[in-house]
Structure 1
Amino acid sequence: MHSYARDLGLLRDRRFALLLSGRTLSVLGAAFAPVALAFGVLDLPGATASTLSVVMTAASLPMIVFTLVGGVIADRLPRQRVMTAGESLAAAGYLALGVMMLAGWTPMPALLVAAALTGVATALALPALTGIIPDVVPPDRLQSGNALLGLGANTSRVAGAVLGGGTVVLFGSGWALVVSGAMFATAGVLIALLRMDEDDRPPGERHSVLKDLRDGWREFRSRQWLWVVVAQFSLLIMAFEAGHGVLGPLLAEERLGGPAAWSAFLAGEAVGMFVGVLVSIRVRPARPILVGVLLCLPPALPYLLLGADAPLWAIVAGSFVLGVCFDVFGVLWQTTMQREVPAEALSRVSSYDMLGSLMFGPIGLLLAGPAAQRFGAEASLLGCAVIIVVSTLAALLAPGVRNLRAPAPAAPREAQAEA
């Protein structure tokens, strides 16, 4: 039996509480950014859907380029320091974007450089986050720790989607981006206070960067369930980036009422993720990857509704379903990786996961604007839904996806008895 009281007991651990607080505040800052950046760029003189595609790509592409280096750095250096550096870079990028928009000085090269800083920040912070969780959380409570981190993150997404859209409407995109940058800066301070012990670092000899990358690749490709789902997500994220980054905001601007409507969409998704994390605390499927991949089918629903000219309430309901499914998948995925991959290679494997999953994201962003101009936003969103469904069904053909089993339920009880 798993109890919420035992799960919440992790909050009494100082290091976990700091990690949770920093991660929650970082996600709150990130939740302000999509609405603020999208509508801030669209409000620039002469801006088009293609302009938005270029700026969003500038934020996404460096994340792809530097993610493998971020994984090597996080397996070599104290992960707490790597995360602190990532939060600081994100703060610099979003503060710069906000100040430029407030000042009315928005040359495209400067916007692209500031956006690129936020992408580099993500490439540093996320592999380190995946690796630091098993350093902080006991093995038998990994799923609970991931779920509580998700609970904090999703609470921030709910608040950020509402407050971010409200800040854009009331004060403008520039102030929303400044607030986002300040939140990242504060998150960096909290992570800096974590102070991990040297004994918590995974053991191992130092090698060249290329050897570290080869070893990480060996760990990655030796697990069919891992590379198949990453391949699936490379297509799914391409569709997701196009739909969320360009096509959705564009359709909201044209037909649904602008930033307030798109904030409602994001808020519905965030509320769904909040509900999803409550489910993920309790659910312990025997085949976590199979269940997780099946949960990737319903997220096509909001794109189908957007493309079919459905009313806003139905679209928001579809985004809620997307949020529930993605969050349960995320907790199951993170927990399975942390259990199955050796600790000393976890950040590198996580960086290959990120690289593979996100590598087509910039393509989705680049193609979204021209596709909307040629075929219309509605037809392009329907195409995104088709990509999600087809890629998910293809992943289910792999035996490794269908057959990987979680540890026996008795393991946590044995660990508790030994304690």
Structure 2
Amino acid sequence: MTSPAAVPRRVRRPDWAGRNYVLLTAAAIVTNLGTHGALIASAFAVLQSGGDGGDVGMVAAARTLPLVLFLLIGGAVADRIPRHHVMVAANALNCVSQGAFAVLVLTGDPKLWQMMLLTGLCGAGQAFFNPAAEGMLLSSVSGEQANRAFALFRMAMHGASIGGAALGGALIAAVGPGWVLAVDAVAFAFAGALRAFLDVSHIRPRQPGGGMLADLREGWREVVGRPWLWSIVAQFSVVVAVVGAAEAVYGPLVAQDELGGAAPWGLALAAFGVGTV
């Protein structure tokens, strides 16, 4: 007869981890697993097609530039349209763009302009997604446990980034970058489906403001009026540019020429992620 002590206890979900929080965290894990493998795959797809370091840099810049240009607009849109609709639409755009990129790599000889265009669409999707995602996460937790919820969410994202980089590098070495891009497209589709089931009944409709341009001007005044804020933004812009150049361009080139391919670079990025955590 089994003693009461031998009966496994059911793991109880914390009270603050509601349905929306669980869906958002699961979707973030899925997308980070796919995206961090795809970032490596895009660089090696360019090299595989005969491109050089300059071409890798152009594709990386094509992703970053729309992300920077449309981020403020994405925030203004997220203040006017239900956030979960913006998130699902952005995931759909990223799914289509990454899927088309995968098809080009798997079936033929992708041109540089094609890879730049599709990567740019992915960056634009992220520009609209990020502000909506932050607002949606804020609405899913509140009270004394909010800090714990945010910490767990960030840890889950970083953990997925580590696994995605390592797994992506290994898959590129085994089956090629096209399949890793295809996996990323499927990950966006799955994450978008999860976010479509978010419960938004508790979120009050927001009152219309004074227009998108007026909101952008007001936001700009708020930033430039706080030296501590714009100085931090300027500092991190430089840091992100330097780190991004190393991760997206220089690292893949060194890995291709000196380390034997994508797998070692995936492990290097995973080690960087461990240090970040």
In the alignment, which residue of structure 2 is the partner of 1:163?
167
1:193 aligned onto 2:197: yes
In the alignment, which residue of structure 1 is the partner of 2:145?
141
In the alignment, which residue of structure 2 is the partner of 1:82?
86
1:253 aligned onto 2:250: no
Change (3 A) 1:169 1:58: same
Contact 1:68 1:213 (8 Å CA) reproduced = yes
Separation in structure 2 between the aligned mates of residue 220 and residue 135 of structure 1, nearest angstrom:
24
Separation in structure 2 between the aligned mates of residue 268 and residue 165 of structure 1, nearest angstrom:
13
Separation in structure 2 between the aligned mates of residue 35 and residue 268 of structure 1, nearest angstrom:
15
Contact 2:16 2:145 (8 Å CA) reproduced = no
Q: How far does the alpha carbon of each residue in 1:136-189 deviate from its partner, in whole angstroms, 9 at most, with x for none?
A: 110433322221111221221122112211111111110110001100111011
- Pairs aligned (count): 265
In the alignment, which residue of structure 2 is the partner of 1:410?
none
Contact 1:80 1:195 (8 Å CA) reproduced = no
Separation in structure 1 between the aligned mates of residue 69 and residue 238 of structure 2, nearest angstrom:
18
1:248-397 paired onto structure 2 within 5 Å: 248-270=251-273, 272=274, 320=275, 323-324=276-277
Separation in structure 2 between the aligned mates of residue 29 and residue 159 of structure 1, nearest angstrom:
9
In the alignment, which residue of structure 1 is the partner of 2:224?
221
Matched residues, percent identical? 34
In the alignment, which residue of structure 1 is the partner of 2:125?
121
* Partner residue of 2:235 out of 232, 237, 256: 232
Residue 10 (structure 1) shift:
5.3
Separation in structure 2 between the aligned mates of residue 153 and residue 117 of structure 1, nearest angstrom:
23
Amino acid at match of 2:135: G
Contact 1:61 1:119 (8 Å CA) reproduced = yes
TM-score by length of 1: 0.60
In the alignment, which residue of structure 2 is the partner of 1:72?
76
Separation in structure 2 between the aligned mates of residue 95 and residue 122 of structure 1, nearest angstrom:
16
Q: SS of the residue aligned with 1:117?
A: helix
Contact 1:10 1:16 (8 Å CA) reproduced = no
Q: How far does the alpha carbon of each residue in 1:86-132 deviate from its partner, in whole angstroms, 9 at most, with x for none?
A: 11111111111111000013122222221111011110111111222
Separation in structure 2 between the aligned mates of residue 113 and residue 244 of structure 1, nearest angstrom:
20
1:19 aligned onto 2:32: no
Q: Which runs of 5+ in 1 are unaligned?
A: 1-7, 273-319, 325-419
Contact 1:26 1:87 (8 Å CA) reproduced = no
In the alignment, which residue of structure 2 is the partner of 1:336?
none
Separation in structure 2 between the aligned mates of residue 224 and residue 53 of structure 1, nearest angstrom:
32
Change (3 A) 1:10 1:234: farther
Amino acid at match of 1:83: M
Separation in structure 1 between the aligned mates of residue 204 and residue 140 of structure 2, nearest angstrom:
8
Residue 56 (structure 1) shift:
1.2
Larger mean CA deviation between 172-181 and 111-120 belongs to 111-120
- Tell me the C-alpha RMSD between the 2 structures: 1.7
Separation in structure 2 between the aligned mates of residue 82 and residue 144 of structure 1, nearest angstrom:
26
TM-score by length of 2: 0.90
Q: Which protein has greater RCO, CA pairs closer than 8 Å, 6+ apart?
A: 2
In the alignment, which residue of structure 2 is the partner of 1:173?
177
Amino acid at match of 1:107: K
Change (3 A) 1:105 1:257: closer
Separation in structure 2 between the aligned mates of residue 217 and residue 223 of structure 1, nearest angstrom:
10
Q: SS of the residue aligned with 1:9?
A: coil
1:15-94 paired onto structure 2 within 5 Å: 15-45=20-50, 47-94=51-98
